[in-house]
């Protein structure tokens, strides 16, 4: 399967003030991301509030992104990829979303473990992914490992080994790895001389993953507004400029430190989009939306680190 080289963005789901999805902004959104060095999108995931969307909304969002992607190209002239997150608490719904993604021409699909019921064994996770992935057997499937969201603190090495030895998910491309264990990340990356595509999923640790010899590709959330800096880390590393790579990685941490003051990327990051000219609207309940006063403080904190001269344009 084709490996992902570079960074894929995890976009927000744009919404109007009344909470309905704003599909109209997606073509401009896609063009902005491509212009700032992103290679594609991983839609309807955690940043996109996927679990708070209806099946119809998720399908309509996927259709809109696929249409928009056909009209933009990346900075190196490649097609703009659309990976559809299809995970849900109902595996039948996930299978339906996977079938739909393949039908409309998405590049790939992915799924995180459900938040309920909690998956406690590797075999349970393999079965869950197997039922979903076979719904889009012609597309690469990525498991989205983010245990902080669903409590699935399982060995990803054992997951890969079980799938590989059983042959039960032939279209498993790899893992979007959003967890703190660089040791396990690298262990998975080295499995059978790099058989699986290990997509780095933490924007704050891109550089150490590069230094270990992996992280050819990644999926980020702060890439929505800080993509120029994050892609710059990879560019600097590739060019052998370690000091520049360190400087950019540290700056990326400065930005993350700011959003951590405002309920993280899903809430604070979504509001940053408004400040750079792409109003994504409110978050869905039960997320606590930012107040106008918080927005003013957010803007001030960003100005204090000269964010608006570094952010996506």
Catalytic residues: 144, 176
Provide the residue count of the chain.
313
What φ, ψ does residue 278 adopt, rounded to 5°? -130, 85
Between the alpha carbon of residue 110 and those of residues 8, 183, 254, 288, the distances in Å are 13, 23, 29, 27
Q: Residue ranges of the alpha helices (H) in the chain?
A: 26-35, 55-69, 91-104, 122-133, 147-150, 156-166, 182-190, 206-211, 223-238, 242-259, 264, 270-275, 292-304
Residue 109 · residue 141 · CB < 8 Å: yes
What lies within 8 Å, CB to CB, of 306 at 6+ separation is: none
Phi-psi region of 263 (alpha: psi -120 to 50; beta: other; left: phi over 0): left
Residue 145: in which H helix or E strand, if any?
strand 141-145
User: DSSP characters for 227-276?
Assistant: HHHHHHHHHHHHTT-HHHHHHHHHHHHHHHHHHGGGTHIIIIIHHHHHHT
Whether omega for the bond prior to residue 286 falls within 30 degrees of 0, making it cis, is: yes
């Amino acid at each position: 399967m084709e490996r992902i080289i570079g960074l894929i963005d995890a976009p927000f789901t744009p919404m109007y003030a009344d909470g309905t999805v704003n599909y109209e902004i997606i073509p401009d959104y896609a063009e902005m991301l491509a212009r700032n060095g992103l290679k594609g999108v991983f839609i309807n995931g955690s940043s996109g509030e996927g679990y708070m969307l209806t099946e119809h909304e998720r399908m309509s969002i996927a259709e809109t992104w696929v249409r928009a992607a056909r009209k933009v190209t990346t900075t190196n002239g490649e097609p703009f990829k659309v990976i559809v997150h299809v995970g849900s608490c109902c595996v039948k719904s996930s299978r339906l979303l996977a079938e739909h993604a393949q039908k409309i021409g998405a590049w790939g699909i992915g799924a995180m473990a459900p938040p309920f019921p909690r998956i406690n064994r590797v075999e349970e996770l393999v079965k869950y992914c197997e039922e979903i992935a076979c719904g889009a057997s012609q597309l690469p499937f990525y498991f989205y490992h983010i245990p902080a969201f669903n409590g699935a603190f399982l060995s990803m090495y054992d997951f890969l080994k079980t799938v590989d030895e059983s042959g039960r998910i032939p279209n498993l491309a790899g893992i979007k790895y959003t967890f703190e264990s660089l040791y396990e990340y690298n262990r998975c990356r080295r499995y059978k001389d790099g058989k699986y595509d290990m997509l780095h999923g933490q924007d704050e640790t891109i550089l150490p993953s590069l230094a270990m010899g992996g992280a050819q590709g990644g999926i980020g959330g702060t890439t929505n507004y800080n993509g120029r800096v994050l892609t710059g880390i990879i560019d600097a590393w590739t060019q052998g400029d370690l000091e520049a790579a360190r400087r950019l990685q540290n700056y990326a941490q400065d930005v993350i430190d700011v959003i951590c003051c405002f309920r993280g990327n899903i809430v604070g990051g979504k509001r940053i989009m408004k400040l750079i000219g792409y109003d994504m609207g409110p978050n869905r309940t039960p997320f606590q939306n930012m107040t106008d006063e918080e927005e003013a403080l957010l803007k001030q904190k960003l100005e204090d680190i000269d964010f608006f001269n570094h952010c996506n344009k």
